[in-house]
Amino acid sequence: MARRKTAEFSSTIFDDVYRTIISRMPQFIIPVINDAFGTRYPMDIEFEQLKNEFYTKNGKLVTDSIFLIKGHIYHVECQSNSDNTMAIRMFEYGMEIALERARKNKDYLHVDLPESAVVYLRHMKNTPDTLTVEVRSPKGDSLTYESKVIKVQEYTKDVIFRKKLLMYLPFYVLRYEKELETIDKDRKRLDELLREYTGICSKLEKILEKGGSSELYNDLVGCIMEIMDYVLRSHKNARKEMNEMGGKVLETYTEKTRREAKKENSQMIYSAVKDIKDGIKSSELKKKYTADVIKTAKAIACL
């Protein structure tokens, strides 16, 4: 999450999970960019993750995520709470990002400020929709730099899934923070929460499988459960049952993955046996199959 100097801020669970998503599942930032800036980039678009550390006379600036897509730079920060210093910090980050890629033409220095947005995991009633900094030159000319504000708790799970904002799912439980003490003591409410998260995980699995990204399921559900475990740390009943639910979800998915892998392996062996019996050369077999598949297929072909 956003910070001025690395020495002044300690890492939090929210920082860690956000960084995990950005490092392991960076494609999930694409729908966030589309939602914030009105773009329509496909999930599989090629992009470049730019460096996120800048050294200034005041120390080291560390940003959350900077992406270059089709010649446009997008900067997205994540904050767990509203911060009244965020506007000037976003401008500072924007200037450092722009200067890093500045172009000099004779006596002119051309800088392009990035499109920027702040994702607030929590917000207050007076949290603005836009962070604005106005810069005025000695001649009276002015430049207005705006950063979009995204209030995650305003997104229902239906909107999150419709817009494919899957990276918000780990933080979805924060919308229940003020109700957790009641939920922990109310069996009916707790069951409702369990059913809701079981449904979320089920829908997430279907979406990722459909998009050809099923391998990301374990990582994202792991992030969901990590945040859940932290938020519920003072609520023993809810924490215990949610952890059990998460364990069952992951166990079921793992078992399903194993069955599918076994089925796929069987199909490969069957195909290899057919090729061997058809007289396909060993050099060609090695191009199509693994050594273990070839070994098993040869043993079967000799029966």
User: Cβ–Cβ contacts within 10 Å for residue 226, how many?
Assistant: 16
Question: Are 2 and 143 contained in the same domain?
Answer: yes
What is residue 100's predicted lDDT score, i.e. its pLDDT? 84
Query: Final residue of a domain: which of 87, 120, 154?
Result: 154
- Residue appearing with tokens 């519920």: 232
Number of domain units in the chain: 2
What is residue 204's predicted lDDT score, i.e. its pLDDT? 87
What is residue 274's predicted lDDT score, i.e. its pLDDT? 78
Q: Is residue 7 part of a domain?
A: yes
The phi and psi torsions of 244 (rounded to 5 degrees) equal -65, -40
What is residue 8's predicted lDDT score, i.e. its pLDDT? 37
Q: Is residue 265 part of a domain?
A: yes
Which residues in the chain land under pLDDT 70? 1-11, 55-61, 211-214, 250-266, 269-270, 293, 296-297, 299-303
What is residue 170's predicted lDDT score, i.e. its pLDDT? 94
Q: Which domain holds residue 297?
A: 258-301
Q: Two tokens at 106?
A: 């004779």
Q: Is residue 250 part of a domain?
A: no
Q: Residue 203 carries which side chain, given as an amino acid letter? A: K
Question: Of 221, 242, 84, which Cα lies nearest the Cα of 176?
Answer: 242
Average pLDDT, the chain: 84
Query: Final residue of a domain: which of 154, 176, 197?
Result: 154
What is residue 299's predicted lDDT score, i.e. its pLDDT? 64
Radius of gyration of the chain (CA): 25
What is residue 78's predicted lDDT score, i.e. its pLDDT? 92
Question: Are 136 and 280 contained in the same domain?
Answer: no
Rounded (5°) CA angle 208-162-150? 105
> pLDDT tens, 208-250?
877 666 677 778 888 998 998 999 999 999 999 888 888 777 6
What is residue 162's predicted lDDT score, i.e. its pLDDT? 95
Q: Residue 243 carries which side chain, given as an amino acid letter? A: N
Q: Provide DSSP, 86-101.
A: HHHHHHHHHHHHHHHT
Query: Final residue of a domain: which of 154, 171, 206?
Result: 154
Q: Two tokens at 116?
A: 């920027």
What is residue 10's predicted lDDT score, i.e. its pLDDT? 45
What is residue 6's predicted lDDT score, i.e. its pLDDT? 38
What is residue 7's predicted lDDT score, i.e. its pLDDT? 34
Question: Are 148 and 281 contained in the same domain?
Answer: no
